[in-house]
Structure 1
Amino acid sequence: MPASLLVLTDFFREANGALDYATTLASTLQARLVLLHVRRDSVLDPEMFTGELSNLSKESIALAMSSIALDLPVPVVAEVGHGRVASAVADAVTRHHPALVVLGRSNYDDIPDNLIQTTALELLRLVAYPLLVVPHTVSGLRPLRRVLFAVDGEPFSLGEHAGAVRQLLTAIDAEVTVLYVAPNAVQAEAEEATDQALDTVLRTGLTIDLPLVKARTLADASPARAILDVAQSTDFDLVVVVARPRSFFGNLFHRSITAEILRRSTIPVLVLPAA
């Protein structure tokens, strides 16, 4: 069975942009798409307050899904789930074992940070799976090669997901820059950690046979801000972050570095769950 990408769609502009992006990626990977629409009918859904829920009938959803599948240049499996998105995705993941879960990120500029409960954050809490989040401003035709890999300087493993991530990086012939931000150091001290930060990525085997792997370190009291400043330059097409189990759970998850990058990045973000 070919590799697959699980793509969430609600037929809004953000989801359509993510679908375009995933389609381009699937073509590169020679993968199929698993297109998942979730009928979010729970009154407790955290997205209810944004008004970003589709109220289409079952018939309209079936017609829309069929129309989308016919227009795509890659193999497609279309499914409809029910209830909370994270639960529906968890179910689909157990059945399809995709390489990535892909979803679009809405525009939250006018919503206070303490009210934001994105689908991405809920998925990370429930489904420890590689997650590609595509901002609403990103075109599906944007090239994907220059990768900023942000690390915390500590060793990590991706477990069963390492192979799929390595395949992705190899397929796009990625030019990887490993970035380590030292929050409590001056620049000179931070630069001493360059080799160690690079080594944490090299030891995973993710960059085997890649044409270019560089390292960069910064000293900044706000790692999230520093990562975003670097990522949002014109030098990169994708930012990769490693989320450890301690980042997934707890009442303060929405304040974590991963959550901040997901909310603010203007380029796609690939979140890799550490094993």
Structure 2
Amino acid sequence: MLPAALLVLPDLFPGSGHALPYAARLAEALQAGLLLLHVRQDELLTPEEHPGLHTRRRERQSLAALQTLASKQAVPTETVSIEEFLPEAVGEIVREHQPLALVLSCPNAGAVPAEVVTGTALDLLRHISCPLLVLPPGGAAAFVPHRLTLAVDGHDFTLPNYPHIVPQLLTRPGATLDIVYVTDQKDPGAEAGHRALHAVRRSGLAAVPEGTWAHIVYNPDTAQGILQGAAERQADLLVVVARHHSLWGSLFHRSITGQLIDARAIPLLLLPALD
């Protein structure tokens, strides 16, 4: 088993094969490995309405192709398989291997309905105990992010005991962390920013030097405010603490996390938090 690795879903959606190049570059920079997740699908698992869609022969070909892909990576790479794609099954793999993050890429526009992509990501977040890195359509520039923006709500948060990728990213030369706090008050006062900074410090996620100021964004729409703050700080990675209760949307209200995934605007690192 690899000591530290990124778990990659290279072909979860049609037209989403951009996760691996980004993950490979990131793993190389972090001196980590890669785990490529393969979903075994044969005629026993094929829905009745699609008979013959997957055969044992095609399954062997798919696995062989993935193993060939693994052998070509510049970092140690292994493959791991599950019988069918279910968030619970992925969660088991995460618990067993404890990856630094689970990486998936949004497909190009029109390839898969947006609600399917967002729903899948939210389902994964409910079942995994590691960060989820969601890449925008077309992938992202294959360089390691160095301008991180962390969006917080000003309340304390506790992260599970999983390997933390953010501190590792921040140890790289030139890496910076900006903290963004979005409010619907035009003059929230300095205390709002102080609360946001204290919450990050108490979480242990990252060291926040004295003299740091939170970047306050006024926007009645929290998700849009977070994206606005990331753009103003010229972020190349947006980090968001995803509280369990905030992952559930409804017919009339999408969670903030879901809206950020829907936006597909920037590489998005979601940190599942304990409530």
For the residues of structure 1 that align with 2:117 and 2:243, how far apart are their CA atoms?
21
Alpha-carbon distance in structure 2 between the residues aligned to 1:253 and 1:81:
35
Percent pairwise identity? 37
Cross-structure match for 1:195 = 194
When the two structures are superposed, what TM-score results if normalisation uses the length of structure 1? 0.83
CA contact (8 A) 2:129 2:160 kept: no
Instruction: Give matches, 1:46-125, under 5 Å.
Output: 57-108=58-109, 117-125=118-126
- Of 110-119 and 233-242, deviating more is 110-119
Q: Which whole-Å CA distance do the structure 2 matches of 1:54 and 1:104 have between them?
A: 23
C-alpha distance in structure 2 between counterparts of 1:78 and 1:208, whole Å: 34
Q: Kindly tell me: are residues 190 and 150 of structure 1, through their superposed partners in 2, closer, same or farther at Cα, counting changes over 3 Å?
A: farther
CA contact (8 A) 1:207 1:213 kept: no
Closer/same/farther in 2, CA of residues 36 and 138 from structure 1, 3 Å limit? same
Q: How many residues align?
A: 266
Check if 1:272 corresponds to 2:271. Answer: yes
Q: Structure 1's 3 and 162: CA in aligned 2 closer, same or farther, altered over 3 A?
A: closer
**Which has a greater percent of helix?**
1
Partner in structure 2 of residue 222 of structure 1: 221
Q: Is the 8 A contact 1:175 1:211 kept in 2?
A: no
Instruction: Assess if the C-alpha contact under 8 Å between 1:32 and 1:76 holds in 2.
Output: yes
| C-alpha distance in structure 1 between counterparts of 2:253 and 2:121, whole Å | 11
Q: Closer, same or farther in 2 for the Cα pair 1:214/1:232, shift >3 Å?
A: same
Structure-1 residue corresponding to 2:242? 243
Q: CA deviation at 1:221?
A: 1.0
Q: 1:177 — aligned with what?
A: 178
- Find the counterpart in structure 1 of residue 206 from structure 2: 207
Question: Which SS does the other structure have where 1:177 is aligned?
Answer: strand
Corresponding residue of 1:16: 17
The SS at the match of 1:176 is strand
Classify 1:162/1:214 alpha carbon distance in 2 versus 1 (closer, same or farther; 3 Å). farther
Whole-angstrom distance in 2 between the partners of 1:42 and 1:210: 54
Q: Is the 8 A contact 1:39 1:82 kept in 2?
A: yes
Greater mean deviation of Cα atoms: 96-105 or 250-259? 250-259
Partner Cα separation in structure 2 for residue 155 and residue 253 of structure 1: 27
Report Cα offsets for 1:158-184 as digits up to 9, x if no partner: 13136443233324653111001113x
> Cα RMSD between the aligned structures?
3.3
- Indicate the larger mover: 96-105 or 79-88: 79-88
List per-residue Cα deviations over 1:129-152 (Å, max 9, x = no partner). 211111123335234100110001
Distance 2:104 2:54 in 1: 15
Structure 1 residue 77, shift from structure 2 partner: 0.8
- TM value normalised by structure 2: 0.83
Q: Which has the larger radius of gyration?
A: 2
1:125 touches 1:249 (CA, 8 Å); kept in 2?
A: no
Offset of residue 66 of structure 1: 1.7
How much does 1:254 deviate?
Answer: 7.1
